[in-house]
Structure 1
Amino acid sequence: DPADATAVELAPADLPDDVLIYTSPSRYCLSDEMAVTAKELFGAIPPGYGRVEKINAFVHNHLEYALGTSTSVTTALAAYENGVGVCRDFAHLAVTFCRALDIPARYTFGYLPDIGKISMYPMDFHAWFEAYLGDRWWTFDPRNNDRRRGRIVVGRGCDAVDVAMVTTYGDAALNELTVWSDLA
């Protein structure tokens, strides 16, 4: 994941029209309800890339990653209060904090191969977020809190409502899924 410590936050009036939607609350990212908390935690940090890195690190340290601790109705606020969640909750909480500070942020999911990393989990869907700083989107991963190579983006949106990993009608069982990925 590329990084740029000099990337700046833009005032809402200076954002491109298609980016503005990512400053508003959404189903899982209730930034209006967490605005006071966001300002208390991050309001004194100088605006820019560094502040988003601090948000990313805070979420990484605040939430414990535990499979099975989140449901389809778990909001960022609930994850924050419970202190536990899955990668989706990590991404939602970071997005929520960013939006509460008028930093455009969007939920992103796909695959994260463990290129150059050792993982105790098999590759599966993974969620992270992107923040709009300067003139582009930057990738942040609060679950892992480090830069990775080879991300495969499947979807982007305001939150998981926009880009559901799976939509089924009736009973469904996944028997096997294998994904291989490498850098070109």
Structure 2
Amino acid sequence: MKIRIGYELVYDCPQPTPMILTLSVHYTRISDLLIPDHLTTDPPVPLSAYRDSYGNWCSRIVAPRGLLRLSADALVKDSGQPDVVAWQARQIPVQELPDDTLLFLLGSRYCETDRLSEIAWQLFGQSPIGWGRVQAICDYVHGHLTFGYEHARHTKTAWEAFQEGTGVCRDYAHLAIAFCRCMNIPARYCTGYLGDIGMPPPYGPMDFSGWFEAYLDGQWYTFDARNNTPRIGRVLIARGRDAADVAISSTFGPNTLKSFMVRTDEVSG
């Protein structure tokens, strides 16, 4: 199948403002791009790019004073298959985990393992280890939180989401990640495109989506506590410890996001 993806973001800056943008499709999906997701700026500004410590492709610009429009319009091929489900995947003991997964056992900006550890063991200590435990965590988070954009807050942490019982997709992911780490399962945050392909209407407003990956049986598997069902057509942008590592824009000066549009549509033919 083919999926049209893209975005249009409009910022208003009262002065020239440096920005780091994490908007490019992840390198693991580059070979799937039929039309590349080149970042376009209006007005045109110089742009440079680099890979961050997690392998994400980031762009650097200095936004001029006034309005700046950032956009991309791409086409990606996809298998059309839902997320993999592997009930047999086992949990690996901490002492046997690869070195590069250990970072994803630790607390981070939005995932306070120290505050949630006792709660996690009370909730999931008797659940099946391995895939079943991660699924039990997703089931709990999916039922514990009530979704709503009115509950969005860019400073909200996993602990706060747990206490408030509300959130958006990033809050579902943060709470599930924190619980996984508390149960000695490496977990990392993912952001990207996820449309409503294969889902019945009504459809909500399109946005970038947050989910997570857990390390089981020697590989990373996709989990989604917000939707809590295998989905079709995920297109990864970035991975990190939590949302702080994969912000679509990190700005170094005053600015206002004036408009925001994300596109993810299946294309026939």
State the TM-score, normalizing by the size of structure 1: 0.94
Number of matched residues?
184
**Cα distance in structure 2, aligned partners of 1:45 and 1:108:** 25
**2:159–2:175: 8 Å Cα contact kept in structure 1?**
yes
Q: What's 1:37 paired with?
A: 119
Q: Which runs of 5+ in 1 are unaligned?
A: none
Matched, 1:69 2:151: yes
Q: What's 1:100 paired with?
A: 182
Amino acid aligned to 1:132: Y
* The one of 259, 264, 267 aligned to 1:175: 259
Q: What's 1:21 paired with?
A: 103
Q: Tell me, what secondary structure is at the counterpart of 1:8?
A: coil
* The one of 229, 237, 260 aligned to 1:146: 229
**Cα distance in structure 2, aligned partners of 1:89 and 1:11:** 27
Q: Tell me, what secondary structure is at the counterpart of 1:9?
A: coil
Q: What's 2:28 paired with?
A: none
Q: What's 2:171 paired with?
A: 89
Aligned-CA RMSD value: 1.6
Say if 1:100 and 1:151 are closer, same or farther in 2 by CA, change over 3 A.
Answer: same
**1:150–1:181: 8 Å Cα contact kept in structure 2?**
no
Q: Tell me, what secondary structure is at the counterpart of 2:238?
A: strand
Per-residue CA deviation, residues 50-93 of structure 1 (Å, 9 max, x unaligned), is 11011001000000001131322211000000000111100000
**Cα distance in structure 2, aligned partners of 1:178 and 1:156:** 19
State the TM-score, normalizing by the size of structure 2: 0.65
Q: Tell me, what secondary structure is at the counterpart of 2:222?
A: strand
Larger RCO: Structure 1 or Structure 2 (Cα < 8 Å, ≥ 6 residues apart)?
2
Matched, 1:160 2:243: yes
Moved >6 Å (runs of 4+): none
**Cα distance in structure 2, aligned partners of 1:182 and 1:10:** 37
**1:76–1:89: 8 Å Cα contact kept in structure 2?**
yes
* Structure showing the higher strand proportion among its residues: 2
Q: Tell me, what secondary structure is at the counterpart of 1:137?
A: strand
Per-residue CA deviation, residues 36-60 of structure 1 (Å, 9 max, x unaligned), is 1000000011211011011001000
Amino acid aligned to 1:76: A
Q: Which runs of 5+ in 2 are unaligned?
A: 1-82
Which shows bigger deviation, 146-155 or 165-174?
165-174
